[in-house]
Amino acid sequence: MPDIIYTKVDEAPELASASFLPIIQKFTAAAGVSVGTSDISLAGRILATFPEHLKEDQRQSDDLAELGKLVKTPDANVIKLPNISASVPQLVAAIKELQSQGYALPDYPDAPQTDAEKAVRAKYDGIKGSAVNPVLREGNSDRRAAKAVKSFAQNNPHRMGDWSADSKTKVSAMSDGDFFSNERSATLDKEATARIVLVTDAGETVLKEGVSYPAGTVVDATFMSAAALQSFLTDQINETKADGTLFSLHMKATMMKVSDPIIFGHAVKAFLAPVFEKHGDKMRDLGVNPNSGLGDLLTRVKDEADIMADIDACMAARPPMYMVNSDKGITNLHVSSDVIIDASMPALIRAGGKGWGPDGAEADTNCVIPDNSYAPVYDESIKFFKEKGKLDPATAGTVQNIGLMAQKAEEYGSHPTTFEIPQAGTVKMILDDGTVLHEHKVETGDIWRSASARKAPIEDWVNLAIDRQKAEGCRAIFWLDAARAHDAELIAYVKPILEAKGVADKFEIMAPREATRASLETITSGKDTIAITGNVLRDYLTDLFPILELATSAKMLSIVKLMNGGGLFETGAGGSAPKHVQQLQEENHLRWDSLGEFCALGESLTFLADSKGNAQARVLGQAVDAATQGILDHGRSPSRKVGEPDNRDSHYWFARYWAEALAAQDSDAGMAAHFAPIAEALASNEQQILSELAAAQGAPADLGGYYHTDPAKTEAVMRPSKTLNDIIG
């Protein structure tokens, strides 16, 4: 097994790997450190799931399953790049691309009827959404800005949009009938197995059985009322029209792969309500599913003149919509995976509350976030900046995060126990001893779900927070709402541990709204704080604060201390990766910034040195830190515009600074001697290398695919400098 596993993923991060990974393998080999790859890309996962449909030479091992085993061992040392958490449109697009390349995969069944179709659908549904992270995250999250990155952001502050006190931008969330208001939670005092049933006048239907929990597990259940959701969405469309703002919906339809696409579909249906009322049957015959988004709907009805005319009339009567791409007419409701809340909301807040309208101009926006569980975070952020004005990155402190995410903690582990209710009745969660743990009266179309958090991850999370607060010595806040059922159960864990460790006075416990304001006040004053949160808030905050502080979340240091002793080093967010790939395809310029990969590599090598006693790995890791600092100090990060330095240029500079640091260090004379000629070759050939890299830009780039690129074509695109390749090998 390789010493370090570097994951094969999708889109821009994977393209960058084609350039960066050969450099890593060249340098680490000098210390006897092997770096292998493991394919967790969407295309790779699809191929691994259907071996019986493929030729022998097309079959692929289930690398995700193997990694899932590895992360439960002390030997795990994994650098995880951001992978696609596929929505249905992305999954379908990937399947079609693979089929076009000669892979005889079955189609994705929209409405499976036969047992065979249902079996295929079940396999595909296991791939979409957050299929990767729950498998690999066998530890809790320690995410923060590396000191060098934070210092650079303060010395080179990015542009922030201006806020005005009279901005009409706001957050709108349900006040009743949502997941937040209907939540029930309990901590099990013994090991238990549950079954989930729907009791109606016609009898009892089993929704799920054999759901097992160890003692001490916090088990939640809740539902969202479809009627309340429809009423809320209708009100918000009308309110947005009256306010003269843009309508925008902010969801997590990739990670929350069952519930949120359904909610997204409700929004599509509400926005085009007159069209669905008039043409619903015909649209259904055409295969229209509102959950697939407005883009898919328009494709299916484009040849129906009467429907298209009514859509145009409806859109003209509705408020203007927040746009993903104004030039191409891609709206907020086109594809659920296009607007992901943890990227879309911070970007809007950073821009002074402005979103892009269909006319290509910025405007105030109604940010519709149906469930009220975490909407207060964004609502309070907007209120704060309306009062105080924009954040100053040059003086702002930082918000670190300790996140409870191990072992499918909280909502992100709810997919197998989320159901769209087929008929009115009562959903009951019944334990094996007959105890009814939770029950809810539901109506047809309601979305019911259960989630859980186990005792060991919760305790590990609290202890990790204690360690981080001791190391940082700054303000530390548990973002927990005593009035929320789930959070109250977590507080019952948190307080005794803090008291037993004698550190209760070092921590505060606040509901998310209050914690948001306290954190913003803290960093505005130039001080630091630690946000200790559950899994979804971890995801949201580790985009919100970095985007405000650093302009991006891709440069964050993300360390997962695996509970069995291994290490998982994540490299940041990939939310803008599709736009980066599009630019590369059109003009052969990749603006993806690999700073997250640089930071993760340094941490991985240091971890390897500590865990395996490899002193040369430590030398490599220290030199990585020096190279990363060199990238920042000398402004070697990628530019956004074609003809200027891009991702490939930054890799050249990183290799050079890394080699120079290794040649200059005095901890290991053999390493210094080995890297001295490499450093000299990289320096003396600077002009030739940079000219070869520059010459590659401008024309369209052929990768041989989007989800499943051709390795030879990708290498040719991402390694265009023969001089650099000859030095690296």
pLDDT digits (tens, 9 = 90+) for 599-655: 999 999 999 999 999 999 999 999 999 999 999 989 999 999 999 999 999 999 999
Residues near 83 by Cβ (< 8 Å), separated by ≥ 6?
7, 9, 10, 40, 41, 42, 132, 574
Stretch among 205-214, 437-446, 550-559, 633-642 having the lowest mean pLDDT = 550-559
Identify whether residues 707 and 593 lie together within a single domain: yes
Q: Is residue 386 scored above 90 in pLDDT? A: yes
Task: Give the residue carrying structure tokens 């303000």.
Answer: 475
Query: Which among 369, 387, 421 is the end of a domain?
Result: 369
Whether 697 is in a domain gets the answer: yes
The arithmetic mean of pLDDT across residues 140-161, rounded, is 91
Identify whether residues 592 and 696 lie together within a single domain: yes
Paired sense of beta strands 418-420 and 447-453, if any: antiparallel
Cβ atoms within 10 Å of 606's Cβ, excluding its own:
19
pLDDT above 90 as % of the chain: 88
Identify whether residues 134 and 230 lie together within a single domain: no
Whether 689 is in a domain gets the answer: yes
User: Residue 27 and residue 648: Cα distance in Å, rounded?
Assistant: 17
Q: In terms of residue numbers, what domain contains 291?
A: 225-369
CB 136 within 8 A of CB 67: yes
The arithmetic mean of pLDDT across residues 184-193, rounded, is 97
Identify whether residues 134 and 254 lie together within a single domain: no
Q: Is residue 446 scored above 80 in pLDDT? A: yes
Give residue 677's pLDDT band: very low, low, confident or very high (50, 70, 90): very high
Whether 613 is in a domain gets the answer: yes
User: Residue 44 and residue 211: Cα distance in Å, rounded?
Assistant: 29
The arithmetic mean of pLDDT across residues 453-471, rounded, is 96
CB 274 within 8 A of CB 310: yes
The full length of the chain comes to 729
CB 418 within 8 A of CB 447: yes
CB 383 within 8 A of CB 117: no
Question: Which of 87, 44, 157 lies closest to 394, judged by CA?
Answer: 157
Task: Give the residue carrying structure tokens 């994951």.
Answer: 7
Stretch among 122-136, 303-317, 672-686, 698-712 having the lowest mean pLDDT = 122-136
Query: Which among 349, 369, 389 is the end of a domain?
Result: 369
Identify whether residues 570 and 708 lie together within a single domain: yes
Stretch among 84-88, 309-313, 509-513, 522-526 having the lowest mean pLDDT = 84-88
* Mutual angle of helices 273-285 and 294-301, in 10-degree steps: 60
Look at residue 573 in the predicted model and tell me its pLDDT: 62
Question: Which of 628, 728, 555, 621 lies closest to 21, judged by CA?
Answer: 728
The token pair at 616 is: 């040369």
Look at residue 148 in the predicted model and tell me its pLDDT: 82
Whether 415 is in a domain gets the answer: no
The arithmetic mean of pLDDT across residues 521-549, rounded, is 96
Look at residue 528 in the predicted model and tell me its pLDDT: 97
Look at residue 552 in the predicted model and tell me its pLDDT: 83
Whether 398 is in a domain gets the answer: no
Look at residue 575 in the predicted model and tell me its pLDDT: 53
Look at residue 579 in the predicted model and tell me its pLDDT: 85
Task: Give the residue carrying structure tokens 């350039």.
Answer: 19
Look at residue 431 in the predicted model and tell me its pLDDT: 97
Query: Which among 340, 369, 398 is the end of a domain?
Result: 369
Look at residue 557 in the predicted model and tell me its pLDDT: 83
- Kindly report the pTM of this predicted structure: 0.85
Look at residue 574 in the predicted model and tell me its pLDDT: 55
CB 354 within 8 A of CB 363: yes
Look at residue 576 in the predicted model and tell me its pLDDT: 59
Identify whether residues 134 and 233 lie together within a single domain: no
Q: Which residue did the predictor score with more confidence, 579 or 265?
A: 265
Q: Is residue 100 scored above 80 in pLDDT? A: yes
Q: Is residue 473 scored above 90 in pLDDT? A: yes
* Mutual angle of helices 686-695 and 669-684, in 10-degree steps: 60
Q: Is residue 362 scored above 90 in pLDDT? A: yes
The token pair at 118 is: 């249902």
Residues of 699-715 as b/e, b for ≥16 C-beta within 10 angstroms? eebebebbbbbeeeebe
Identify whether residues 234 and 339 lie together within a single domain: yes
User: Residue 180 and residue 186: Cα distance in Å, rounded?
Assistant: 15
User: Residue 637 and residue 552: Cα distance in Å, rounded?
Assistant: 13
Q: Is residue 281 scored above 70 in pLDDT? A: yes
Identify whether residues 704 and 576 lie together within a single domain: yes
Look at residue 106 in the predicted model and tell me its pLDDT: 96
Task: Give the residue carrying structure tokens 């090998």.
Answer: 729
The token pair at 170 is: 């706001």
Identify whether residues 134 and 255 lie together within a single domain: no
Sign, CA dihedral 372-373-376-379, equals: negative
Determine the distance from the C-alpha atom of residue 178 to the mean position of all C-alpha atoms in its chain, rounded to a whole number. 23
Q: Please tell me the total count of domains within the chain.
A: 2
Angle at 167 between CA 163 and CA 168, to 5 degrees: 145
Identify whether residues 237 and 133 lie together within a single domain: no
Whether 520 is in a domain gets the answer: no
Whether 169 is in a domain gets the answer: no
Look at residue 315 in the predicted model and tell me its pLDDT: 96
Whether 513 is in a domain gets the answer: no
Identify whether residues 241 and 357 lie together within a single domain: yes
Look at residue 163 in the predicted model and tell me its pLDDT: 97
Sign, CA dihedral 662-666-670-674, equals: positive
User: Residue 103 and residue 100: Cα distance in Å, rounded?
Assistant: 7
Give residue 588's pLDDT band: very low, low, confident or very high (50, 70, 90): very high
Look at residue 695 in the predicted model and tell me its pLDDT: 97
Look at residue 84 in the predicted model and tell me its pLDDT: 85
Look at residue 256 in the predicted model and tell me its pLDDT: 87
* Mutual angle of helices 686-695 and 647-664, in 10-degree steps: 160
Mean pLDDT of the chain: 95
What Å distances lie between residue 111 and 117, 289, 426, CA to CA?
Answer: 8, 10, 26
